Structure 1
Amino acid sequence: MSTESAGGEAAMTAREQHERPLPEMFVIVASAEDADALAPLAARDHEVAPVLVATGPDPMAVDDVLDELGALAGRVLLVETPDDGPVPEAAALLPRLDALVADDAPAVVLVRGGSPTALAATQVAVWRGVPVVAVPVAGESSVGSANQAAIAALVASQSACDVDPDQVRAAAAAQRLVRERPGSGSGSGGGRRLVRLPNHRTLSA
């Protein structure tokens, strides 16, 4: 950062700093079960602006559930996904999720469980250098459990050099929201909530 830009930052008034837009947290909502669990994250926070992304194999059904819960989706990602398994589903979702993250540049992405959508969103976020908060779900199928392990490994692979201070703060805020807001955890048995922070260790809550 140049001396001039550093001075400009220091010269900002408290009001100007307060009025700066909050970093966005994309909450990937891939199913009705995700909607039930993640709806509490929709309310605005003082550190981060949650944006629910209704997606998955049936995004309109997800959007309907969110509407019923009073948690409106900020994005509805329509994807024509084939009906013959998770691999074609992920292949269809990846380019759309990648375009969304690349164009909107969220500060943090939150995923739940081990759905193909959650795995695809994690892959995209890691590729784009966006921190990921992963909320595990107990009792998933063997494929879902394997996907959750892959998500955890991807989160752990994120390097401190890939994130800036705003992303770090947004990731910490996302971690706090998952911990504090009723119903926004795993919903079945609890578990670790992972986020990569720039102290080179993975925090769990």
Structure 2
Amino acid sequence: MTAREQHERSLPEMFVIVASTEDANALAPLGERDPEVRPVLVATGPDPMAVDEVLDDLGALAGRVLLVETPDAGPVAEVAAMLPRLDALVADDVPAVVLVRGGSSTALAATQVAVWRGVPVVAVPVENGSALEAANQAAIAALVATQDAPEVEPEHVRAAAAAHRLVRERPEPGTGPRVVRLPTHRTLSA
């Protein structure tokens, strides 16, 4: 293993939850190397294989693929299937931060797991979603607001700050940097 590979492995992991093909298009640029955090794209949601295919087409390989047994069975079945899988992933790999986008049922489940496990969450809002997605985004924001920075390990706080920076600087396919507004009601300093 080279020194660069050793350094990259020592960086805190940021799980980027990619729950749809729209998420894949928006979040694929976050799979790039970063000096402060190691992004791991997690292809999941109701159709994780389609998500993985879009990520592959964009040149952003998924670090993890979480399959569901009952695709297209609705949001309740999606959450019921995703909660134990996401919980096992977060408990086993212990990422420094989890990034979710929008208000999908998978994003809500990932947020619930991360908050319960004490892992900081960075939530990227999406406008013009369905009423269910808007309600889920509100629930995600409420869960994120319950996290107290003093209770989070300093390396996780730094990783969350790096995740915020990555999202703000995230390039859109074929364009330059794009600014994404994130909730700023919490402080990320330890």
TM-score, normalized by length of structure 2? Answer: 0.88
Displacement of 1:82 in angstroms is: 4.8
Which deviations, in whole Å up to 9, do the C-alpha atoms of 1:48-98 show, x marking residues without a partner?
000000000111110000000000000011121353320111011000000
CA shift, 1:183, in A, is: 2.4
- Is this contact kept in 2: 1:159–1:198, CA < 8 A? no
* 1:161 CA displacement: 3.7
Q: Are residue 96 (structure 1) and residue 85 (structure 2) matched?
A: yes
2:135 alignment partner, one of 146, 149, 154 = 146
> Which of residues 20, 35, 47 in structure 2 aligns to 1:46?
35
**For residues 151 and 62 of structure 1, what CA distance do their matches in structure 2 show?**
22
The TM-score, its normalising length taken from structure 1, stands at 0.82
Q: Aligned partners of 1:38, 1:191: CA distance in 2, in Å?
A: 12
- Give the Å deviation of 1:160: 2.3
**Helix, strand or coil for the counterpart of 1:194?**
coil
Match of 1:174 in 2: 163
2:125 alignment partner in structure 1 = 136
Gaps of 5+ in 2: 174-178
1:139 counterpart SS class = coil
Give 1:133 deviation, angstroms.
0.3
| Larger Cα-atom Rg | 1
How far apart, CA to CA, are the structure 1 residues paired with 2:70 and 2:36? 35
Partner in structure 1 of residue 46 of structure 2: 57
Q: Could you say which residue in structure 2 is the equivalent of 1:118? A: 107
Mapped to 1, the partners of 2:123 and 2:183 lie a distance apart of: 5
1:32 equivalent in structure 2: 21
TM-superposed deviation, 1:191 = 6.2
- How many aligned positions are there? 179
Indicate if the aligned counterparts of 1:108 and 1:130 stay in contact, CA closer than 8 A: yes
Where has structure 1 moved over 3 Å in runs of 4 or more? 194-200
Contact 1:110–1:133, Cα closer than 8 Å, also in 2: yes
How far apart, in 1, do the equivalents of 2:154 and 2:145 lie? 18
Q: CA RMSD in A?
A: 2.0
Percent identity of equivalent pairs = 75
Whole-angstrom distance in 2 between the partners of 1:82 and 1:33: 17
Checking the alignment, whether the CA contact within 8 Å between 2:19 and 2:106 is kept in structure 1 is: yes
Paired AA for residue 88 in structure 1? A
Cα deviation code 1:15-54 (max 9, x no counterpart):
9xx9470000000000000000000000010000000000
